[in-house]
Amino acid sequence: MSLPIKNVMIIGAGGNLGPAILEALDKDAQFTVSVLSRQSSNSTFPSHIKVHTISDNYPAEELAEVFKGQDAIVSTVSIGSNDVQKTMIDVAAKAGVKRFMPAEYGTNGKDPRSTRLLPMFKGKAEIIEYLEAQQSEGVSWTALATGPFFDWSFKSGVLGFDLASQKATIYDTGNSRWSTTTLPTIGTAVARILHKPEETANKYLLVSSFTPSQNEVLAALEKHSEKKWHVEHRTTEEAAKTGKEKLGLGGADYYS
């Protein structure tokens, strides 16, 4: 049986998801947590958390130094950081890191339906393939898909609900269910994964807090606010076309 994971470094701990993962690992007595921060970052962390500062472009020689002695690397870097994550994986393998958790989360990057609707997520699948190819180099991996971050998505309005104006955009019938996870639950899931390194090695895992429909969420919001919300109806096909146009990919034949 392999030794337990103890020393964990979080990359991107000051972002949207990172603080929840940092909090979950920090309050778990098994882990000694540190943070990797870019020189240009303005993020702040609790005084007892060790912060390793690195150049903004994550040079391999600097990564090699801070990865020494780490059992696990948890990456929450932004979409589009594939080259950076590949460098991290290579360095982690050479440094003897036991587990690398890529910046997966959110949408299931291994599902071709997801990448067809959200082309910018194709890079996530590429990172999983890269990790699979690196297994023989000694570093194991675990990827975690969570669906949208429920609490964060409400604040940002991406789920179609505007809390301030009490307006909702309902797509199609509003009865389709979707998996979603709260930020604290994601943090807990990462901690539980690292508690079970053998069972979770080289696996793609799914987690969700609940699977509501838009109509159910709207009913709960109206009940809580004791007001009838203004509702606009749209189709998912229309929304997908608009999204593709905004990404500069053209609106026609989006589903082909």
pLDDT tens digit sequence for 136-148 = 677 899 999 999 9
For 27, 70, 162, the CA distances from 73, given in Å and listed in that order, are 17, 7, 36
Q: What is the DSSP letter of 150?
A: H
pLDDT tens digit sequence for 45-83 = 999 999 999 999 999 999 999 999 999 999 998 877 889
Q: Where are the domains of the chain?
A: 1-146+181-209, 148-180+213-249
Q: May I ask the CATH architecture of the domain 1-146+181-209?
A: 3-Layer(aba) Sandwich (3.40)
- First-to-final CA distance of the chain: 48
- In which band, very low, low, confident or very high, does the pLDDT at 249 lie, cut at 50, 70 and 90? low
On the question of pLDDT at 256 being above 90, the answer is no
Cβ atoms 134, 126 nearer than 8 A? no
CA distance 76 to 13: 7
Least-confidence region, from 50-64, 185-199, 241-255: 241-255
